[in-house]
Structure 1
Amino acid sequence: MAPMRIGGLASGMDIDQLVNDLMKAERIPLDKLYQKKQIFEWQRDAYREINKKLADFDQYLFDNFMLSSNFYKKTATSSNEAAVSVKALSSSYDSTNTITVSQLAMAATGVSGEVGNASSATKLSEKGLAAETKITIVALQANGTYKEEEITFSPDDTIADVVKKLNQSSLNINAIFDDSSKKMGISTRATGTLDTIDVDKAEVYVKSATGDDIFATIFGFGTGNDQNGNSGVTSLANGGQNAKFTLNGLEMERQSNTFTINGIEYTVKAVTSTPVTVTSSTDVDGMIAKIEEFVNKYNELIGTLNDKIREKRYRDYPPLTDEQKKEMTEKQIELWEEKAKSGLLRGDSIISNGLSQMRRDLYSRVDGIGENVIDTLSEFGITTTSEISSGGKLVIDYDKLRKALESDPDKVVKTLTQNGAITKDSATGQVTSDTRGIVQRLRDTIKGIITNIEKKAGKPTYTENQYSIGLQLRDVENQISDFQRRLQDIESRYWRQFTAMEQAIQRANQQSMFLMGQFGGGM
């Protein structure tokens, strides 16, 4: 049960205000604990923001450089894009080729006879199918093999159902029915043919039917030869043909109109009467743009990191208490907290050591590429600016970079993107070789920085017990809880003292009134 509080009825004093004023002084250490907690939280958040920027840069490096094909750009041009379009893959090499197209690849096709008095909604029973039938259909696939599937048709199926079952089968064929002409068309989804002998093979045909072969009896498809040259099967599609062309004097065939030879993807679109010239070369401009993007993103990152460890600390601007915020405008609070948050990572060893390692990563030699070759950034025109205040930002000598890419692009690519490892002397532990490319080195260093920051500042999924600032926060929170209990005891003590004073004054007043009454009565 809470003790009775008497608020100045006898003394006439504002006891509530007196206790509040006394407690303000008592709460000063508590305010400092809250300020300490706020600083830890700001510092934690500042570290996590740094980790986000590091993780973003690491992801950028992975997406753009870890696969050399994402960086090593090739370009290919065709003298006649309307007939032959080309695309250079990373495996292509500088070359000039000529191609003449004599035949385009085509899919096998077939058209049924006219189905009289029918539409897509006509049921097979109306066309004479009396019982369920199972038909095995064989079709040529894109990989050059034949595939078969058994499809069941019932008298209640409509012609539209037949089309749907064919299209949804695993045979990779297309079927349509035209209500106007009352004919069905079937084609393979893949172009080309496997015919190598003088037999007119069907690329899609009926192998067998357990019941009525509706494709012969209802739809009127003609007969042809199966894949083995046997005659008498119902032929649903034939006439597929390969693309035929002459490349650099060599006659070739491909099942598709799109094919890759020596790292160049060709798409033939039309038969040609004159040779088409195809040129493949290194996309130097594209690679320069990629390197320029890398330099800009690296400079942006280390600029942010350097700003954080150099940021001025304003110790005269501690975090505001709730009482102080009540007396300030939102703009004043914003400006104050901007200074209060400044410099929380000033001189931080994790970040400064990480920056130093990143600079070493950039300028150390990449082993395993060869002798007297391009194996450092500076050798292809990337160096640090001469301004000390820039903190190691990179600059590009574009003439030197272009010359390196034109003379030996493979070595530039390896210097940046090569996968490798560190080798150490077993006795001394000294590094004897580092075959990691610069991008891999940077990523390894960044991951190390991220791990060290997580040990100190954690990440959103961590509990306070899993990182050092979290432990400090937990300690401060415990101190706050202890101090709040202490303040409750102090406030109760003040109220007991003032209540006792009020009670004493009340007794004194009663005694005074009694004495005055006694004297007044004796006169």
Structure 2
Amino acid sequence: MAGLRVGGLASGMDIDQIVGDLMKAQRIPLDKLLQKKTTFEWQRDSYRSINTKLNTLHTKLYDDFLAPNSFNKKTVSVSNDNVVSATATSAASGTLSIQKVEQLASSSYGVGSIAENTPSTKTMKELGISGDQNVKLGVLQTDGTMKDFDFSFKETDTINDVVKKINDKGAGITALYDEKSGQLSLSTKATGKSTEGAEIIDREKSGFFSSLGFADSENLASNGTNAKVTVNGAEIERNSNSFTVAGFNITLKEKTATGVAPITLSATTDVNSMVDKIKAFVSNYNDLISGMNDSLKEKKYRDFPPLTDEQRKDMTDKEQEMWDEKAKSGLLRSDSIVSSGLSDMRNAIYGKVGTGDNIIDTLAEMGITTSSAYSDGGKLVIDEEKLKKALTENPDQVVKTLINPGEKTTTEDTRGIIQRLRASMKEFTTKIETKAGKSTWTDQQYTIGKSLIDTNTRISNFQRRLEDMEARYWKQFTAMEQAISKANSQSGYLAQFGQG
């Protein structure tokens, strides 16, 4: 509980003002600690901003270059797209000839006949099925295998209920009931022929579907077909109309007519797509290093420390904004982590891939060089004509130079340039995280965080000292006021005797 404070009633002095001025001087070290804390927080956020940009480019490089079929894209021309459509993976090359599409893959279906005009609300019991029924069905799946599913039907279930239970099971069966014809259809979602001789099988011959009009108590659907096609003279059979051969993703649309000329599929490198991705990479890389170079060169205004709350009270919003802009400038000026990270990134993209005598094994040989302007800080520039020529004449070597998995040894580095750059960026990110952490980390896990903990502890201790100091000042002034008041009382009392 705070002691009694007497605010200058006896002395006539403004004790509040006096104590405030005394404390203002004592607060100067605390203000410096608070400014130091703010600087740590700003610096942490500046580092994390760089990491955000590094992670964004790191992900984009994977999406554009390393993900399957993302960079080494091929286009396919088809001589008869009424019968066949096709796309290509990076493995596709040359041509394929489809001499004949003999048969398309189809799904299997079976139909049970109950009775015409039987309402879908009729229950199993009303159809002569007594008691609850447990049925195990083997069903053809899209991967060509058979998989078993258990179904439970109650005698109180309606035809609608049975249809819903089958469709909701996720077994790969589509059930359909038509009231007018009284027919219940079961069909497989997968196409193709099962090796078991049927595509929907009642494993235990329960008789449940026989009671719903299916002629065969075991094989409920057995008329699926496989696709049959002749490719480059080889007779191929698949359980789906979409399949891959020699890197070509083929989709069959219809059977070929007798006497129709063979269908030719030709794969060519999609140069324009590759050029666009390389241009996007160069642009994103340049933006990233430009921002970091700016941070390293940014002027430091030492006469503009972070504002305290008290200082902000005396400034307009515009004045605060202008002050903060200078206070935040130069937080990473000449920073060793950023400098070394930039250097490692440059080294990653300038080096030769491997030690062989390949025609194209550097960025320069495919038309990507460093800007000659010193002020550009290592930005890349593209000779688009040279790049297109390299991709047209030797696409496989360009792809290898950029994205070869490879490995780094003491004698050579066979990793592609994109692989090297991503590895360099990952190391850079780790160094920044050690210094500035991540938003999900606690302050104990990174260097600046530990400095913040120490600064916060010093701030708390100093604030307690200031509270004690202010209490002491008030105690002293209160004692003075009380002494003056007592002296005034005694003087008045003695004055009475003098008047008598």
With normalisation by structure 2, the TM-score equals: 0.89
Match of 2:371?
Answer: 385
Of residues 306-315 and 264-273 in structure 1, the stretch that sits farther from structure 2 once superposed is: 264-273
Q: Are 1:405 and 2:391 matched, yes or no?
A: yes
| Mean CA deviation greater in 178-187 or 287-296 | 178-187
Task: Tell me the residue number matched to 1:110.
Answer: 110
Q: 2:446 aligns with which of 452, 463, 467?
A: 467
- Cα 1:511/1:153, change in 2 over 3 Å: closer
Residues 418 and 68 (structure 1 numbering): CA distance in 2 closer, same or farther, change over 3 Å? Answer: farther
2:6 alignment partner, SS class:
coil
Amino acid at match of 1:276: I
Summarize deviations over 1:7-60 as a string: whole Å, max 9, x none: 222221212112212222222222222212211221122112222222222222
Which of 205, 209, 216 matches 1:209?
205
| 1:454 corresponding residue in structure 2 | 433
| Match in the other structure for 2:238 | 254
Report the residue type matching 1:343 in the other structure. G
2: CA distance between counterparts of 1:204 and 1:3? 90
The code of the aligned residue for 2:328 comes to K
Residue of structure 1 equivalent to 2:220: 236
Distance 1:152 1:41 in 2: 62
**Counterpart of 2:73?**
73
Q: Distance in 2 between matches of 1:109 and 1:272?
A: 25
Q: Are the aligned partners of 1:149 and 1:170 in contact in 2 as well (CA < 8 Å)?
A: no
Change beyond 3 A, Cα 1:147–1:21: closer
1:96 CA drift (Å): 5.4
From 445, 457, 473, the equivalent of 1:494 is: 473
Q: Deviations over 1:110-165 (max 9, x none)?
A: 33345245222222333333456666655555455556667665544433344345
Q: Which secondary structure does the structure 2 equivalent of 1:71 belong to?
A: coil
Residues 34 and 80 (structure 1 numbering): CA distance in 2 closer, same or farther, change over 3 Å? same
What code does the residue aligned with 2:288 have?
Answer: L
Structure 1 residues 505 and 397, CA gap change in structure 2 (3 angstroms): same
Taking a change above 3 Å as real, the CA distance of residues 118 and 301 of structure 1, as seen in their structure-2 partners, is same
Deviations 1:337-371 (A, max 9, x none): 11111111111010011101110111111227x42
Pair 1:440 & 2:424 matched: no
Q: Report percent identity of matched pairs.
A: 51
The answer on 1:285 being equivalent to 2:285 is no
Q: Tell me, what secondary structure is at the counterpart of 2:176?
A: strand
Q: CA deviation at 1:306?
A: 0.9
Indicate whether 1:394 and 2:380 are aligned. yes
Name 2:47's counterpart in structure 1: 47
**Structure 1: distance between partners of 2:354 and 2:219:** 64
CA distance 1:277–1:95, change in 2 (3 Å): closer
Do the aligned partners of residues 94 and 338 (structure 1) sit closer, same or farther apart at CA in structure 2, a change above 3 Å counting?
farther
SS of the aligned residue for 2:362 comes to coil
SS class of match (1:433) = coil
The answer for unaligned runs of 5 or more in structure 1 is 224-232, 425-431
Which residue in 1 is equivalent to 2:404?
418
Instruction: State the partner residue of 1:21.
Output: 21
SS of match in other structure, 2:5? coil
Cα displacement (A) at 1:88: 0.8
Q: Which residue of 2 aligns with 1:226?
A: none
How big is each residue's C-alpha offset from its partner over 1:467-487, in whole Å with a ceiling of 9 and x where there is no partner?
A: 332333233333323332333
Confirm or deny: 8 A CA contact 2:141 2:147 kept in the other structure: yes
Question: Does the CA-based 8 Å contact 1:103-1:271 persist in structure 2?
Answer: yes
Answer whether contact 1:422 1:435 (CA < 8 A) is retained.
Answer: yes
Change (3 A) 1:31 1:195: closer
The aligned residue for residue 291 of structure 2 is 304
Asked whether the equivalents of residues 94 and 282 of structure 1 are also in contact (C-alpha less than 8 Å), the reply is no
Shift of 1:98: 4.5
Could you tell me whether the CA contact under 8 Å between 2:200 and 2:220 is conserved in 1? yes
The aligned runs of 1:125-204 (5 Å cut-off) are 125-130=125-130, 140-144=140-144, 155-167=155-167, 172-193=172-193, 203-204=199-200
Match of residue 359 from structure 1: 346
RMSD across aligned positions (CA):
3.0
**Which residue is 1:269 aligned to?**
253
Deviates more, 1:263-272 or 1:95-104: 95-104
1:331 corresponds to which letter in structure 2?
K
- Does the 8 Å contact 2:96/2:232 carry over to 1? no
Task: Choose the corresponding residue for 2:307, options 296, 304, 320.
Answer: 320
1:292-316 Cα distance to aligned partner (Å, 9 max, x none): 1111111111111111111111122
> Structure 2 CA distance, aligned partners of 1:88 and 1:248?
17
Question: Which whole-Å CA distance do the structure 2 matches of 1:514 and 1:265 have between them?
Answer: 114
**Cα distance in 2 for residues equivalent to 1:338 and 1:56:** 26
Using the size of structure 1 for normalisation, the TM-score is 0.85
Name the CA shift for 1:456/1:186 in 2 (closer, same or farther; >3 Å).
Answer: closer
- 1:96–1:326 CA distance, 2 compared to 1 (3 A): same
Matches within 5 A, 1:363-374: 363-367=350-354, 370-374=356-360
The answer (yes or no) to whether the contact 1:115–1:182 under 8 Å persists in 2 is yes
Between the aligned partners of 2:172 and 2:29, the Cα distance in structure 1 is 78
- Residues 478 and 190 of structure 1: CA distance in aligned 2, closer, same or farther (over 3 Å): closer
The answer (yes or no) to whether the contact 2:117–2:181 under 8 Å persists in 1 is no
Instruction: Indicate the SS of the match to 1:434.
Output: coil
* Paired amino acid for 2:294: D
What does residue 347 of structure 1 align with? 334
- Partner AA of 2:44 in structure 1: R
